[in-house]
Amino acid sequence: AQSVAQPEDQVNVAEGNPLTVKCTYSVSGNPYLFWYVQYPNRGLQFLLKYITGDNLVKGSYGFEAEFNKSQTSFHLKKPSALVSDSALYFCAVRGTSGYSTLTFGKGTMLLVSP
Amino acid sequence: DAGITQSPRHKVTETGTPVTLRCHQTENHRYMYWYRQDPGHGLRLIHYSYGVKDTDKGEVSDGYSVSRSKTEDFLLTLESATSSQTSVYFCAISRDPAYEQYFGPGTRLTVT
Protein backbone atom coordinates (compact mmCIF):
# COMPACT_ATOMS: atom_id res chain seq x y z
CA ALA A 1 0.00 0.00 0.00
CA GLN A 2 1.16 3.51 -0.69
CA SER A 3 1.38 6.19 1.97
CA VAL A 4 2.48 9.77 2.58
CA ALA A 5 3.86 11.26 5.78
CA GLN A 6 3.92 14.96 6.54
CA PRO A 7 5.72 14.96 9.88
CA GLU A 8 4.87 18.53 10.87
CA ASP A 9 1.31 19.57 11.64
CA GLN A 10 2.40 23.20 11.52
CA VAL A 11 5.36 25.16 10.23
CA ASN A 12 6.01 28.72 11.36
CA VAL A 13 8.27 31.05 9.41
CA ALA A 14 8.86 34.80 9.27
CA GLU A 15 8.11 36.68 6.07
CA GLY A 16 11.16 36.87 3.84
CA ASN A 17 12.75 33.74 5.27
CA PRO A 18 13.03 30.48 3.33
CA LEU A 19 10.43 27.83 4.04
CA THR A 20 10.40 24.05 3.83
CA VAL A 21 7.40 21.77 4.20
CA LYS A 22 8.43 18.14 4.52
CA CYS A 23 6.97 15.09 2.81
CA THR A 24 8.09 11.46 2.68
CA TYR A 25 6.35 8.71 0.79
CA SER A 26 6.11 4.98 0.33
CA VAL A 27 4.98 3.42 -2.97
CA SER A 28 5.69 0.39 -5.10
CA GLY A 29 7.78 1.27 -8.09
CA ASN A 30 8.33 4.80 -9.30
CA PRO A 31 6.19 7.55 -7.80
CA TYR A 32 4.14 10.37 -9.17
CA LEU A 33 4.31 13.13 -6.54
CA PHE A 34 2.17 16.21 -6.10
CA TRP A 35 1.82 19.24 -3.87
CA TYR A 36 -1.48 21.03 -3.34
CA VAL A 37 -2.40 24.12 -1.34
CA GLN A 38 -5.72 24.86 0.35
CA TYR A 39 -6.78 28.33 1.42
CA PRO A 40 -9.59 28.68 4.00
CA ASN A 41 -12.99 27.54 2.76
CA ARG A 42 -11.60 26.68 -0.67
CA GLY A 43 -10.85 23.54 -2.61
CA LEU A 44 -7.33 22.29 -3.15
CA GLN A 45 -5.18 24.02 -5.77
CA PHE A 46 -2.45 22.22 -7.66
CA LEU A 47 1.07 23.61 -7.05
CA LEU A 48 3.51 21.26 -8.75
CA LYS A 49 4.25 17.66 -9.63
CA TYR A 50 7.10 15.26 -10.20
CA ILE A 51 6.61 12.60 -12.83
CA THR A 52 10.10 11.98 -14.14
CA GLY A 53 13.22 13.90 -15.11
CA ASP A 54 14.86 16.72 -13.19
CA ASN A 55 14.72 16.18 -9.43
CA LEU A 56 14.04 19.87 -8.81
CA VAL A 57 10.53 20.79 -9.87
CA LYS A 58 9.32 24.37 -10.12
CA GLY A 59 5.67 25.25 -9.66
CA SER A 60 3.19 28.03 -9.08
CA TYR A 61 3.72 31.09 -6.85
CA GLY A 62 7.50 30.61 -6.62
CA PHE A 63 7.32 27.20 -4.97
CA GLU A 64 9.63 24.34 -5.85
CA ALA A 65 10.13 20.80 -4.62
CA GLU A 66 13.05 18.43 -4.63
CA PHE A 67 12.58 14.75 -5.33
CA ASN A 68 15.05 12.55 -3.46
CA LYS A 69 14.65 8.90 -4.39
CA SER A 70 17.11 7.51 -1.85
CA GLN A 71 15.37 9.32 1.01
CA THR A 72 11.88 8.85 -0.50
CA SER A 73 11.22 12.52 0.09
CA PHE A 74 9.59 15.35 -1.83
CA HIS A 75 10.00 18.49 0.28
CA LEU A 76 8.30 21.72 -0.73
CA LYS A 77 10.43 24.85 -0.63
CA LYS A 78 10.30 28.56 -1.28
CA PRO A 79 13.28 30.92 -1.00
CA SER A 80 11.35 33.83 0.52
CA ALA A 81 8.03 33.35 2.29
CA LEU A 82 5.09 35.72 1.99
CA VAL A 83 2.30 36.25 4.51
CA SER A 84 -0.09 35.27 1.72
CA ASP A 85 1.56 31.82 1.58
CA SER A 86 -0.14 30.98 4.87
CA ALA A 87 -2.36 28.00 4.07
CA LEU A 88 -2.72 24.25 4.41
CA TYR A 89 -0.36 22.22 2.23
CA PHE A 90 -0.88 18.64 1.12
CA CYS A 91 1.58 16.21 -0.39
CA ALA A 92 0.19 13.32 -2.45
CA VAL A 93 1.60 10.21 -4.14
CA ARG A 94 0.46 7.58 -6.57
CA GLY A 95 2.16 4.64 -8.16
CA THR A 96 2.70 4.38 -11.89
CA SER A 97 0.75 1.21 -12.51
CA GLY A 98 -2.84 0.67 -13.57
CA TYR A 99 -5.60 2.57 -11.84
CA SER A 100 -3.50 3.54 -8.85
CA THR A 101 -5.15 6.48 -7.11
CA LEU A 102 -3.75 9.44 -5.20
CA THR A 103 -2.97 9.08 -1.52
CA PHE A 104 -2.77 12.34 0.42
CA GLY A 105 -0.83 13.24 3.51
CA LYS A 106 -2.65 14.71 6.50
CA GLY A 107 -1.54 18.21 5.62
CA THR A 108 0.80 20.82 7.09
CA MET A 109 -0.40 24.26 8.13
CA LEU A 110 2.06 26.94 7.10
CA LEU A 111 1.90 30.18 9.06
CA VAL A 112 3.99 33.09 7.82
CA SER A 113 4.29 35.96 10.26
CA PRO A 114 4.87 39.56 9.15
CA ASP B 1 -10.72 27.40 -10.83
CA ALA B 2 -11.26 24.64 -13.35
CA GLY B 3 -14.86 24.26 -14.51
CA ILE B 4 -16.07 22.23 -11.56
CA THR B 5 -19.13 23.00 -9.49
CA GLN B 6 -20.56 21.19 -6.53
CA SER B 7 -24.09 21.38 -5.21
CA PRO B 8 -25.28 22.00 -2.65
CA ARG B 9 -22.43 23.94 -1.04
CA HIS B 10 -23.85 23.50 2.43
CA LYS B 11 -26.34 21.00 3.78
CA VAL B 12 -27.68 20.06 7.18
CA THR B 13 -29.60 16.82 7.38
CA GLU B 14 -30.85 14.40 9.98
CA THR B 15 -29.51 10.95 10.75
CA GLY B 16 -31.14 8.30 8.60
CA THR B 17 -32.10 10.53 5.68
CA PRO B 18 -30.73 10.02 2.16
CA VAL B 19 -28.45 12.69 0.75
CA THR B 20 -27.14 13.20 -2.78
CA LEU B 21 -24.25 15.49 -3.63
CA ARG B 22 -23.62 16.54 -7.21
CA CYS B 23 -20.41 17.29 -9.02
CA HIS B 24 -20.57 18.89 -12.44
CA GLN B 25 -17.62 19.54 -14.77
CA THR B 26 -17.31 21.40 -18.04
CA GLU B 27 -13.77 20.18 -18.84
CA ASN B 28 -14.73 16.86 -20.43
CA HIS B 29 -12.22 15.03 -18.22
CA ARG B 30 -12.57 11.27 -18.09
CA TYR B 31 -11.71 10.76 -14.42
CA MET B 32 -13.76 12.03 -11.49
CA TYR B 33 -13.25 11.52 -7.77
CA TRP B 34 -15.06 12.05 -4.50
CA TYR B 35 -13.04 12.76 -1.35
CA ARG B 36 -13.91 13.62 2.19
CA GLN B 37 -11.77 15.93 4.30
CA ASP B 38 -11.65 15.56 8.06
CA PRO B 39 -9.27 17.15 10.58
CA GLY B 40 -6.29 14.91 11.23
CA HIS B 41 -7.05 12.69 8.22
CA GLY B 42 -6.28 14.86 5.25
CA LEU B 43 -8.25 13.83 2.17
CA ARG B 44 -9.53 10.31 1.79
CA LEU B 45 -10.88 8.85 -1.42
CA ILE B 46 -14.48 7.62 -1.28
CA HIS B 47 -15.17 6.53 -4.88
CA TYR B 48 -13.89 7.37 -8.30
CA SER B 49 -14.97 7.03 -11.89
CA TYR B 50 -12.89 6.29 -14.96
CA GLY B 51 -15.67 6.77 -17.46
CA VAL B 52 -19.43 6.84 -17.89
CA LYS B 53 -20.93 4.03 -15.81
CA ASP B 54 -17.42 2.94 -14.72
CA THR B 55 -16.78 3.43 -11.03
CA ASP B 56 -14.69 1.87 -8.29
CA LYS B 57 -14.34 2.06 -4.54
CA GLY B 58 -11.79 4.11 -2.67
CA GLU B 59 -10.40 3.92 0.83
CA VAL B 60 -13.58 4.89 2.72
CA SER B 61 -16.48 3.73 0.54
CA ASP B 62 -18.71 2.12 3.20
CA GLY B 63 -22.05 3.92 3.42
CA TYR B 64 -21.60 5.70 0.09
CA SER B 65 -22.62 4.97 -3.47
CA VAL B 66 -21.94 6.82 -6.72
CA SER B 67 -23.31 7.09 -10.20
CA ARG B 68 -22.06 8.57 -13.43
CA SER B 69 -24.54 8.53 -16.29
CA LYS B 70 -22.92 11.41 -18.19
CA THR B 71 -19.32 12.51 -18.57
CA GLU B 72 -20.01 15.80 -16.85
CA ASP B 73 -21.88 14.60 -13.76
CA PHE B 74 -20.76 12.45 -10.84
CA LEU B 75 -23.22 11.91 -8.00
CA LEU B 76 -22.39 10.82 -4.46
CA THR B 77 -25.22 9.32 -2.40
CA LEU B 78 -25.41 8.65 1.29
CA GLU B 79 -28.25 6.15 1.47
CA SER B 80 -28.86 6.71 5.18
CA ALA B 81 -26.74 9.50 6.61
CA THR B 82 -24.93 9.03 9.91
CA SER B 83 -23.19 11.53 12.16
CA SER B 84 -19.83 10.02 11.19
CA GLN B 85 -20.46 11.26 7.66
CA THR B 86 -20.38 14.88 8.80
CA SER B 87 -17.51 16.20 6.73
CA VAL B 88 -16.44 18.41 3.87
CA TYR B 89 -16.78 16.62 0.54
CA PHE B 90 -14.66 17.48 -2.47
CA CYS B 91 -15.04 16.44 -6.04
CA ALA B 92 -12.00 16.34 -8.31
CA ILE B 93 -11.37 15.70 -11.99
CA SER B 94 -8.37 14.72 -14.05
CA ARG B 95 -7.59 14.06 -17.68
CA ASP B 96 -5.54 10.99 -16.79
CA PRO B 97 -4.62 9.26 -13.51
CA ALA B 98 -1.01 10.41 -13.93
CA TYR B 99 -2.05 14.03 -14.32
CA GLU B 100 -2.87 16.50 -11.59
CA GLN B 101 -6.39 16.60 -10.23
CA TYR B 102 -8.48 19.76 -10.12
CA PHE B 103 -10.82 20.24 -7.21
CA GLY B 104 -14.25 21.71 -6.79
CA PRO B 105 -15.14 24.19 -4.03
CA GLY B 106 -16.47 21.55 -1.66
CA THR B 107 -19.75 20.73 0.10
CA ARG B 108 -20.00 21.04 3.85
CA LEU B 109 -22.37 18.35 5.12
CA THR B 110 -23.61 18.24 8.69
CA VAL B 111 -25.59 15.23 9.89
CA THR B 112 -27.45 15.90 13.14
Q: pLDDT tens for residues B25-84?
A: 999 999 999 999 998 889 999 999 999 999 999 999 999 999 999 999 999 999 999 999
Cα distances (Å, whole numbers) of residue A24 to A34, B34, B52: 12, 24, 35
User: Which of A38, A100, A101 best tests the B interface by mutation, with the highest count of B CBs <10 A?
Assistant: A101
Asked which of A11-15, B5-9, B96-100 is least confident by mean pLDDT, the reply is: B96-100
CATH of domain B4-99: 2.60.40.10
- Phi and psi of B35, rounded to 5°? -120, 160
Terminal C-alpha separation, chain A: 41
| Domain that residue A22 falls in | 3-113
Please judge whether B50 and A106 are an interchain contact, meaning their C-beta atoms are less than 8 angstroms apart. no
For residue B2, what pLDDT band results from cuts at 50, 70 and 90? low
Tell me the CATH number at A24. Answer: 2.60.40.10
Terminal C-alpha separation, chain B: 31
Contact yes or no for B104/B5 (Cβ under 8 A): yes
Nearest by CB to B101, from A42, A102, A105: name it: A102
Does the CB of A35 have a partner CB in chain B at under 8 Å? no
Structural domain count, chain A: 1
Q: How far is A1 from chain B (nearest CA, A)?
A: 11
For residue A95, what pLDDT band results from cuts at 50, 70 and 90? confident
Residue B89 has pLDDT above 80, yes or no: yes
CA-to-CA distance for B93 and B104, rounded, in angstroms?
8
Residue A85 has pLDDT above 70, yes or no: yes
Say how many CA atoms lie within 13 Å of A47 toward its Cβ. Answer: 27
Paired residues of B75 in beta bridges = B22, B67
